[in-house]
């Protein structure tokens, strides 16, 4: 589902492949739980979480993996040791299968994002 035309996150999840839907739904639940004061939107064809109009977190169902976008370099820098060994792009943590998602790490990244304000890349 590289880039979805879904109008909202419910529709996005409904269109996701069945074998990934539970993991994507769990990511959404974590985001909604931890990102108090953020607004859930669809941006660039994926669910995103904005604070004061700026996207700081997003996730997506890609062809080869599930992506978790962490758009705050200060948070990424704080978690350098824990992110080592993960498949990570500039601002994207990639999980090759739903079973490989480190939900504890994701929760900690979300908490750190919500706790402070910083500049999104």
Tokens 């992506």 correspond to: 67
Parse the chain into domains and list their residue ranges: 9-115
pLDDT tens per residue, range 19-29:
999 999 999 99
Write the class of the CATH domain 9-115: alpha beta
What whole-number distance in Å separates Cα of residue 5 and Cα of residue 85? 33
What whole-number distance in Å separates Cα of residue 2 and Cα of residue 91? 17
Q: Does the pTM of the predicted model rise above 0.85?
A: yes
pLDDT tens per residue, range 72-115:
999 999 999 999 989 988 889 999 999 999 999 999 999 999 99
């Amino acid at each position: 589902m590289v880039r979805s035309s879904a109008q909202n996150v419910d529709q996005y999840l409904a269109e996701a492949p069945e074998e990934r839907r539970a993991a994507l739904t769990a990511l959404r639940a974590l985001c909604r739980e931890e990102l108090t004061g953020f607004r859930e939107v669809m941006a660039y064809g994926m669910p995103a979480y904005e604070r004061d109009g700026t996207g700081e977190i997003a996730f997506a169902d890609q062809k080869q993996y599930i992506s978790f976008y962490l758009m705050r370099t200060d948070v990424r820098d704080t978690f350098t040791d824990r992110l080592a060994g993960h498949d990570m792009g500039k601002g994207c943590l990639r999980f090759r299968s739903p079973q490989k998602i480190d939900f504890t790490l994701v929760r900690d990244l979300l908490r750190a994002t919500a706790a402070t304000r910083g500049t999104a890349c």
